[in-house]
Chains A and B, each alone.
Chain A
Amino acid sequence: MSEEENRWAVDLVFERFNQFRHDPSASGCLSGEKSRLADMKTIGAYLPWLQRLHGMFVINRTFTGTCAFFNGFEVGSSRKWTEAFAERLPRGVAAPEGVAWPDLVLSAALGPGFTWAQAPRFTPEQDAVACEGLFTLLNRFLDGSVHFPTADHGFTGITDSLSGDDDVPGGR
């Protein structure tokens, strides 16, 4: 999808939703076919499902898509947790205050220097490692673990082959 197509498609979604919202036929009673996840309003309740059925929630199973889902979940549930999550993530010396939680996750999972801005160019392998790291860190956060490992974090695989350059080696 080109940038122009992307911009058009994003605008279209919001425009269509506004039309949907003001269409009298769109409101009424509930269908009675609510999701089995209907009562799971906390990220802790959702996380096992999300991990197990990652591709169902995040159809391309990318790190950026997963982060977008989590950010959306926080907005939807009105239960702020990403800030607390970020506070507990290991923070590199160079990381400024207020750095986004996905950046900190990448730093912990892949190594210093990897950023959220690079993530759209990740290969599927890099996405997989980053998502695995995210799930692991999030589970530890939800379990109440105070200290995350800062070195030898166990997310092996492609980590050693990556550097912290601006461009993602082998990325798309």
Chain B
Amino acid sequence: MSFICPDDPDFRICLIRFENLLAIQAVAEEGQWANRWSSEAALRDQVAEKDVVLQTFLREKRDGVVRAHRCLVLFSNREPLGSGGITTLDLPPSLMESFERLDRDSDVRAALLKFFSIAGVGPGALTMVGKTWKGSMERTPTVGSDELALFARRLEVAKRDLDRLVPGRRYYDVYHLIFGIDCGLGGESASRAFHSWMVKRDGSSRPELIWAVPGDRVVACDQPAVA
């Protein structure tokens, strides 16, 4: 991931219609992108059917090719009326490029950038919200006790054989091993429930980082020696 600077060609601020946001959500769901709402219903539950402003701020490259843009999304809350929210969303570059940009000249760009900057850190009506887990956080994506016990048993098996399964015990590899165990069990529900539990426990404002991006988690967690 690399930050997008205002002078970069892929920096852009766009005003999009609510329908466009639904389209982004559909693409994100199809691609299972990390930053998205858990469902269209969850999006509709949170976002008012009004225009939305996007600003690109991160790019993910693979093999020199931009694979995705992460955007700040400024939207009107469905409720309470008059309030707003800002969050992040991933989308492919082709989709981003299809939107008409607002920042067509440098003055407008600077003003809008300032606006986003204030919105992102200010204590006003705008709040940074989590969305991927919004719906499930409220319903708590708990996992059946039998399923959890089975997942725990398989995890124990893997832990005993960790050096063979993941030589070097690198964190990212261990993460993928555990995710693989959950997928092999036929779900992802145990790791999703674990994720949600971790979010609640550690109270992070960036829930997607707790478990899915362990490198950032090292910074975000409560271990002073590492932070």
Binding site for B on A (CB under 8 A): 1, 4-10, 12-14, 16-17, 19-21, 23, 25-35, 37-41, 46, 53, 55-62, 64-79, 100, 116-117, 120, 124-125, 128
Contact = CB atoms under 8 A, between A and B. Distances in A.
Contact of B171 (A1, A19, A25, A74): A1
Nearest to A14: B159
B57 interface: no
Contacts of B63: 124-125, 128
Given A46-B183, A72-B180, A55 B158 contact: no
Interface of B: 31-34, 38-39, 62-63, 67, 135-136, 139-145, 147-148, 151-152, 154-155, 157-159, 161, 164-189, 192-194, 197-198, 201, 212-215, 217-218, 221, 223, 225-226
A4 B39 CA distance: 38
* Secondary structure of the B contact surface, majority rule: helix
Nearest to B64: A124
Given A5-B218, A38-B186, A31 B139 contact: yes
Contact of A68 (B144, B159, B180, B193): B180
Given A10-B169, A30-B142, A72 B148 contact: no
A62 B172 contact: yes
A72 B189 contact: no
A4 B155 CA distance: 23
Given A26-B148, A76-B185, A33 B180 contact: no
Nearest to A40: B186
A40 B34 CA distance: 21
B155 to A, nearest CB: 7
